[in-house]
Structure 1
Amino acid sequence: MFIGLDLGTSGLKAVLINESQAIVAEATAPLAVVRPQPGWSEQDPAAWLDAADTVMRALAGQVSLAQVRGIGLSGQMHGATLLDRDDAVLRPCILWNDTRSAEEAAALDADSRFRALTGNIVFPGFTAPKLVWVAKHEPDIFAKTARVLLPKDYLRLWLTGEAVAEMSDAAGTSWLDVGKRDWSDDLLAATGMSRAQMPRLVEGSEVSGQLRDKLADRWGLPKGVVVAGGGGDNAASAVGVGVVTAGDAFVSLGTSGVLFAASDAYQPDAATAVHTFCHALPDTWHQMGVILAAADALNWFARITDKPSATLTGVLGALQAPGRTLFLPYLGGERTPHNDASIRGSFLHLDHATDQSGMTRAVLEGVTHAIRDSYDALSATGTQINRLIAVGGGSKSDYWVRAIATSLDLPVHLPVAGDFGGAFGAARLGMMAATGAGVEIATAPQIARTIDPEPSLTSAFAEAHTRYRASYGALKGLT
C-alpha cells in the first residue's frame, strides 16, 4: 500500500491506496492561516507536523499500515520556511498568497536573468522575493538562515531527516534553472543566497529518503518505507488525473482556476504570465495559466444574492449566447495573462432588463473568458491541448462546463466521482518510488461524460471574449 500526503493551505489530507490504486482510507486535519498585517499570510510549520501526525494516526485507526511501502508528498507551493543551522524554525512560514514582497519581486523581475533562467515572471508570491524582503526587514533572521525549505519539504525533513526538494515545487521559487532542472548559482547570489542553503534536488518519482524508524513505530508502518520526491500541488494533481504527457490538460474550477497542460519540452514565454514549471516526472514540464477567482467568483455572487451557488446555476437551462452584460472576475487581482495585483472585478453594461439569471450567466461567462485568456496564452508558447479534463467544484455545473467547451472549441471530459487530487497523485508518486513503476501507472480516470462544444454558439463566445479583453484595458484605466 501507498500513502499520499497533501499539505494544503487550509488543511492536510492523507489517502491510502492499494496496489490497484483504489483508495482504502483517507483523513484530513485543518490548518489555519494567520494574517498579522494587510497582505500578509503566514502559518506555523509546527502545525503541519501536528496535522501530519493527526492524519497518520487516523489512517492507522481505519486500517493496518503494516503493508505500506511508500509515501508521496504534495503541497502548497512557494512558501518560505526559514531554518537555522540546527534546523529550528526562525519565523512563521510566509505563504504563497502573501503579497508583502511585491516591491522586491518587481526589482528581481527587472533583472533579465530571472526570466531567462526560470522561464517565469518573478511573482510576489514566489519564494526568492520573500527572502529579499526578510533581508531588508528582518536582517537578524536573515543572518541566521542556514536553510530554506518549501512547506512540503519541511514536512519531509521531519519525516526522513533529509533536506530535499523536487523539481516541480522548486520551479516556483525563482531560483531554479527550469530548463536544466538545477539550482542557479547566479540567481541565488542575486538574492543574497547560496546553494549551501538549498535542499538537494530529486525528481518527483524518485526516492528522497526513508521514514524515520521512530515515526514508523508510532504509526505502525514497517521499517524502510521510502518517501518519494512528490510534487507541487498542481503537478501532483496532474499525476492524479493522468495529465502527464504532451497534449493532455486539465481545467480546475476550484477557488482559483487553473488550466494545466503537460509538455515534453521546455518552452517558456514569461511575458504571457504563463507559469512554465518542471512536472513531477522526469524530462517533463508543464504550462499553467492561473486565474485567482473561479468558483470563488461564483461563491462571491452567491453571498451577494444570498442564494446557494448550485441554486443560481441550476435554473439556467441550456447554454445561451453571452449577453451584453460582462463580468470581469478580478476580485483579488489576476495572474494570467495580466500579472496585475491591483486590478479589481467589475460588472459592465447592466441595464433595466438585467436579472439575477443574466448576472449569474455573466459571472460564469467572465470566468470562462478568463480561462480562454489562459488557453490563448498557453497556445502562444506552442503548447497544444488535445484532451481536456475538468475537475473541481465548478465542474458540477454542466452550463459552465459547456460554456468552457464552446469558448475553447474543445470537448471537456468529466471523470467519474472520486478523488483525483494532490493526495492521490502523491500516493501514485510514492508507488513509483517504492516499486520502480513508471509513468504508465498515472492513467486517466474513467470518464463519466463528455460535454461537447455548442457549434452554433462558438462565434458568439469568441465575439464576447473580444469585448471582454477590450474591457480589461478600460477597467485598468480606472484603477
Structure 2
Amino acid sequence: MHLGIDLGTSAVKVCVLGPDGEVKATASAALTVSHPFEGASEQDCAAWWTATRRAVQEIDAALRGQVRAIGLSGQMHGAVLLDADRRPVRPVILWNDARATVECADILAAEPEAGEIAGAPPMPGFTAPKLLWLSRHEPESHARIAHVLLPKDYLGMRLHGRLVTDPSDAAGTSWYDERARRWSDRLCAVSATDPGWLPEVRHGTEAAGALLPGPAEELGLPAGIAVAAGGGDAAAGAVGIGAVSGGDGFISLGTSGQLFVTTPAYRPNLASRIHAYAHTVPGHWFQMAAMLNGARPIAWLAELFGRPIGALLAEAEAAPPGPLFLPYLTGERTPHGDTEIRAGFAGLGETTSQGSLMRSVVEAVAFTFADAVDALSAAGDMPDTLLAIGGGTRSDFLLQTIADVTGCRIGRTDGADIGPALGAARMAMVASGDASQSDAMTKPPVTRRFDPRRGEAERLKARLAAYRALYPALKSVQAAIGAR
C-alpha cells in the first residue's frame, strides 16, 4: 500500500493505493482560511498537521499498517516561516494573498529579467514578494526567519524531520532558476531572502527522508517507511492523471483553477501570463494558466445562500440564461494579473432566481478556462482533449459547459476529485522502489467524456464576448471605489 497526502486550501485529502495501483481508500479533513485584513489570506500550519492526523486516522488501521511509503502534494506558493528551532514565526501567508503588490513591482524594477529566470513575472501570491513585504511591514518577524518551506514541505518536515522541497514547488516561489533548476542568488537578493533559508531540492519521486517514530505512532503508520518529496498540487495532479510527457494536458478544478500542459523544455511566455515551471519529474517542465478562483465561486454562492451545492447546480442547469458574473473573488492571475479586481453580477432583474445566479457562476468559471485556452494557445501547443481533476469534476454541468465554451473535449476519470493525492501516492510507489515511473504514472481510463455541443457553443460565444467586456467595465468602477 502507498499513501498520498494532499494539503489543499479547504481540506487535507488522503488516498491509499494498493499494489495494483487502484485506490483502496480515501478520506479528508476540512481546513479554514483567515482573512486578517482585505486582501490577506492566511492559515495556521498547526491546523494542517491536525487535519492530516484526522484524515489519515480515518483510513482503516489494517490498511495503514500495510503502507510502504508516503507521498506529498500541497497548495503552492505559501510562505511557511520557521525560526532556528523550527517553530512557526507567524501564520502562513497563502497563494491567494494579495498584500505584496508593490513588492512585485519593486522586484521587477531591481531585476528586469526576474520573469524570464523564474518562469513568470513576480505576482503577489508567490513566495518571494511575501518575504520582501515582511521585511518592510513586519521586520521583527522577518528577523526571526531561519527556514522557509512550502506548505507540503512543512508536513514533510513533521514526518521525516528534514527540510526538502521538489522542483515544482520551488518553481512557484519566484526564487528558482527554472532553466538551471537551482535557487537563484539574484532573485533572493532582490526579495530580502537569505538563500541559506531555502530547502534542499529533490525530484518528487525521490525519498526526502524516512518516517520518524513519533509521527508514525500519531498516524498509525509503520515507522521508517520512505516519504517521497512529492510535488506542488498542480504537478502532483499531473502525475495522478499521467500528464508526465510532452503534450499531455489537463484542467484542475479545485479552490483555484489550472490549465496545465507538460513540455519537454523550458518555454517561458511572459506576455501570455503563463507560468512556465519545472515539473516534479526529471527532465520535464510545464506551462500553466493559473486562475485564482477555480470552482471556488460555486462553493461561495452556495455558502452565501446556505444551500447544498448539488441542489443549486440542479436548479442552475434547468434555469434560463441570466445575469453575467465576473468570478474574481480574490483577483486574478491569467490572463489579467490583477490583484485589485473583484467579483460582481451584471444584469440582475426581478425574475432572477438563485438557480439563474448559479448558472451565471458556472458559465463564468467556464469563461475563465476559455481565457486560459487562448493564453496557452498563444504560448505554445494546445491539446484538443483535456482530462479533468479536482472537486469541481463532480459536476457534469460544469464540465459540459467548459467543453462547450473552450471547444475542447473534456475527460473525467475515476478518482478525478482526488487527483493530487493520487499523484502523491504514485510518487510514493516510485520512491519506495515498488514501481518504475513509467509503470506508476499511467493515464487512467476515461469514464465520461464531454464533447463540445455546437448549438451551445454558438449561444455561449455571445455571452463570452459580453463577459470579456465586463472586466474592463468593472475594473474602472473598482478603481473608483477601491478594492473591498
Say yes or no: TM over 0.5: yes
Q: Where do 5+ consecutive residues of structure 2 fail to align?
A: 479-484
1:133-157 CA deviation, whole Å, 9 max, x = no partner? 2211232332332221112212212
Deviation at 1:70, TM superposition (A): 1.4
Q: Secondary structure of the equivalent of 1:283?
A: coil
Amino acid at match of 2:143: A
Map 1:55-94 onto structure 2 (within 5 A): 55-59=55-59, 62-94=61-93
* Matched residue, 2:426: 428
Deviation at 1:205, TM superposition (A): 1.1
Quick check: 1:265–1:285 contact (8 Å CA) kept in 2? yes
What is the DSSP-based 3-state SS (H/G/I as helix, E as strand, rest coil) of the residue aligned with 1:464? Answer: helix
Cα-to-partner distance string for 1:89-133 (whole Å, 9 max, x where unaligned): 322222222222222123223331211201212111111111112
2:287 alignment partner in structure 1: 287
The one-letter amino acid paired with 1:62 is: A
RMSD over aligned Cα atoms? 2.8
- State the shift of 1:9 in Å: 2.6
* 1:20 corresponds to: 20
- 8 Å contact 2:5–2:70 — kept in the other structure? yes
Distance 1:226 1:5 in 2: 13
Tell me the CA shift for residue 236 of structure 1.
1.1
Of 115-124 and 304-313, the range deviating more from structure 2 = 304-313
Could you tell me whether the CA contact under 8 Å between 1:75 and 1:232 is conserved in 2?
yes
CA contact (8 A) 1:247 1:387 kept: no
Cα deviation, residue 333, structure 1: 1.9
Q: Which residue of 1 aligns with 2:333?
A: 335
Q: Cα distance 1:228–1:335, how it changes in 2: closer, same or farther (>3 A)?
A: same
Contact 1:71 1:225 in 2 (8 A): yes
Structure 1: runs of 5 or more not aligned: none
The aligned counterpart of 2:261 is 261
* 8 Å Cα contact 2:390-2:416 kept in structure 1: no
Aligned to 1:407: 405
Greater shift, 25-34 or 10-19, is seen at 25-34
Equivalence for 1:314: 314
The answer (yes or no) to whether the contact 1:278–1:286 under 8 Å persists in 2 is: yes
What is the Cα deviation at residue 223 of structure 1? 5.0
Residue aligning to 2:127:
127
Distance 1:303 1:45, change over 3 A: closer
Deviations 1:406-440 (A, max 9, x none): 22222111223665322221111111111151144
Which residue number corresponds to residue 465 of structure 1? 464
Please tell me whether residue 202 in structure 1 is matched to residue 202 in structure 2: yes
Match in the other structure for 2:158: 158
How far apart, CA to CA, are the structure 2 residues paired with 1:46 and 1:357? 38
Equivalent in the alignment of 1:230:
230
Equivalent residues of 1:290, 1:336 under 8 A apart:
yes
**Contact 1:319 1:399 (8 Å CA) reproduced:** no
Query: Percent of pairs identical after alignment?
Result: 43
> Amino acid of the residue matched to residue 10 of structure 2?
S
Whether the 8 Å contact between 2:322 and 2:352 is mirrored in structure 1 is no
**Partner SS state of residue 420, structure 1:** helix
The one-letter code matched in structure 2 to 1:469 is: R
Distance 1:236 1:474, change over 3 A: same
Contact 1:289 1:377 in 2 (8 A): yes
Cα deviation, residue 76, structure 1: 1.6
Which residue in the other structure is 2:176 paired with?
A: 176
The one of 334, 355, 363 equivalent to 2:361 is: 363
Aligned to 1:429, the other structure's residue is in SS state helix
Secondary structure at the counterpart of residue 387 of structure 2: strand
1:175 and 1:302, CA in 2 relative to 1: closer, same or farther beyond 3 A? same
Length-normalised TM-score, structure 1: 0.89
Which residue type is aligned with residue 196 of structure 2? A
- 2:102 maps to 1:98: no
Distance 1:55 1:396 in 2: 21
* Structure 1 segment 422-461 matched on structure 2, within 5 A: 422-435=420-433, 437-461=436-460
Q: Which moved more, 1:31-40 or 1:124-133?
A: 31-40
